[in-house]
Amino acid sequence: MVQVFTRLIPLLLLLALARPGFAAQGLAIDPATCLGCHGNKISAEQMANSVHGKNGCTSCHIEIVELAKHMKGEIKVGKVQCVRCHKKEAAEHARSIHSEKGVGCAQCHTDMHSHTYWNKDKRRVIVKCTQCHKDERGFSQSVHGKGVLAGNQDSAACNDCHNLHEIKALGDPNSKENREFHTKVCLRCHADQKLVERNHISEVAVKSYMESYHGKNYRLGYPEKVAGCADCHTAHAILPSKDPKSSVNPANLVQTCSKCHAKGSQLFTKFYAHGEHNDREKYPILFYTFIAMTGLLVGTFTVFWIHTLLWMIRGFVENREKAAALEEGIIMHHVPEGHKQYRRFRRVHVFMHLLVIISFLGLSLTGLPLKFSDQVWAKFLMDLYGGAPNAGFFHRVCAGITFVYFAMALFMSIHFLFVRKDIKGNPIQRLFGPDSLCPNLRDISDVIGMVRWFFFKGPKPTFERWTYWEKFDFIAVFWGMFAIGGSGLMLWFPEFFGMFLPGWAFNVATIIHSDEALLATGFIFSVHFFNTHGRPEKFPMDFVIFNGQMSKHEFVEERGDQWARYEKDGITEQFAAKKSSGIFYDFCLKAFGFTALFTGITLLLLMIYAFMHPHH
């Protein structure tokens, strides 16, 4: 009886205090009053020290406006609406997978009356999340989990990837959003230079990934087509490569790589996923490959750009001299019947050149955006093609065309050496003869003569059928097919070549393919375009390659030795054009030619811009 009486005393006191007059005056109910009944469940000390300690009970339980009615059970107490105070968090939660699944605030914040501010202690996040997500408990054993539990607040916890309240559903595992998530969340930390330096983490991971085929496609906006960070390292059980349980441990790489590369082999897994060509100690093969390719680029461009600049200046002076002579009525090179047309190329040559133009521009337009994936114009071009997969398809079609005209060139070369009846001499004599595109001793004297002409030390050389720069272009096709074609095939069919080549061969192939493509595009769009169309005597275009014809005046002036040889053999009229190309043909082909020229120069300017304004 004493115990019952003792409990009734505070209740009677509370009823006496809760007079209708107080309620009418709008006085708030003192939390101490509430604890008189609920003190057995709610600790006054913990409530006072919690984040809600400064709030009254009725701040959350807003239905309780009259204590007497509440104590009689006449007021129905509903669920607390956290949104009244926590609008931002509630809005984020409303867009989350938790909201969709009916998981409310109180199911995570179960300690509502004793809840303290987390002070960004990620350990509390992990403890809270793993209460429900028991399948992810392996996270606590990962490099991230161990780091957080050890007190490193820089290490990634659940909220760093999934957020605290706006937790999105992963949805379709093959969707763009899902695939982007696999890498995007990793970059939040690993691309943070200060965080990386502070924790002594290698910067190579992000940099090398972004320079890879996978990273370039991710940056261009097509993450669903390539591997992201989590595809190799997993999402939660991220372990050092030395750990036998790690997905990137050498013993587990075949299984990891086989997710995408079904026929991946142990040899295939020797690919340097984060290989750096600047690291000579770790990756000497990549380092020296890059040095060799860089040397080739710098050497080639240095020689030919100087050659082009000197030619441009000397050609300009020569044009002024010709103009001055015409003003004085002096004809410097009079050629009888100078406008008569002669055939320089046959139809098959014109057709092959059209194949070259189409395939080369196609390869450039689809390959350069990948090379310079950090550029806004690269993203624009990729979107114009309908995405990286379409660009890849077009790139391979153009590569196929390249193999076609290369096969034609090989066939014609063999036919020239061993079959043709109109060429004098045996195969060796033909190979080094005047009608051959193979370099010979005469080219040395032509180069010397051209340099002397550049510096006003002698007359401009009169060439044979092929000039030394034309021979260089032809030989470059063979080197290009070996370098670009060979490396391109390796990258096109990695699983096949990975059956008998070590994985690092693909790293080498990537460097060669990229740098050789840069050399080819830069050379064609600057040096070749000038030699063919941009030099003062031909500007704005030399149309001979499109209709195969040139005037006798051009023939004699540019290839005087070839004309002299034909006259000596009495065969000049064999090359006389039966009729000039038609107006419609010329119009269409010139439109095509100028379009190709404009496209190439535009790409050249975009490449220069990319080198001058790299984005990181």
Write down the pLDDT at residue 616. 58
- What is the pLDDT, as a whole number, of residue 189? 93
pLDDT at 601: 97
pLDDT at position 204? 87
* Amino acid at site 277: H
* Confidence at residue 111, expressed as pLDDT on a 0 to 100 scale: 85
Helix (H) or strand (E) segment spanning residue 551 = strand 549-551
The pLDDT score that the predictor gives to residue 138 is 77
Residue 524 in 3-state DSSP?
Answer: helix
Give the pLDDT score at 137: 66
Q: Are 190 and 181 a contacting pair, CB within 8 Å?
A: no
pLDDT at residue 171, as a whole number: 82
Per-position b or e across 171-202, b if 16+ CB within 10 A of its CB: eeeeeeebbbbbbebbbebbbeeeebeeeeee
Please, how many CA atoms are within 13 Å of residue 115, restricted to the half-sphere of its CB? 15
What's the length of the chain?
616
Distance (Å, rounded) from C-alpha 59 to C-alpha 55? 6
What per-residue confidence (pLDDT) applies to 33? Answer: 86
Q: What is the pLDDT of residues 76-121, one digit of tens each?
A: 888 889 999 999 999 999 999 999 999 999 888 888 888 888 888 9
With a cut of 50, which residues of the chain have pLDDT below it?
Answer: 1-25
Output the pLDDT for position 4.
Answer: 43
Round to whole Å and give the CA distance between 306 and 45: 84
Write out the DSSP string of 385-436.
TTSHHHHHHHHHHHHHHHHHHHHHHHHHHHHHHHT-SSS-S-HHHHHTSTT-
Q: What is the pLDDT of residues 182-239, one digit of tens each?
A: 899 999 999 999 999 999 988 888 999 999 999 999 999 999 999 999 999 999 999 9
What does the alpha-carbon distance between residue 229 and residue 27 come to, in Å, rounded to a whole number?
Answer: 59
DSSP string, 301-348: HHHHHHHHHHHHHHHHHHHHHHHHHHHTT--SS--TTTT-EEE-S-HH
CA distance 68 to 267: 81
What is the per-residue pLDDT for 282?
93
CA 587 → CA 193, 351, 532, 533, 545, distances in Å?
56, 17, 19, 17, 14
Domains recognised in the chain with CATH numbers: 54-81 (no CATH), 82-118 (no CATH), 123-269 (no CATH), 284-612 (1.20.950.20)
Burial 497-534 (b: 16+ CB within 10 A, else e): bbeebbbbbbbbbbbbbbbbbbbbbbbbbbbbbbbbbb
> Can you give the pLDDT at residue 238?
93
Residue type (1 letter), 581: S
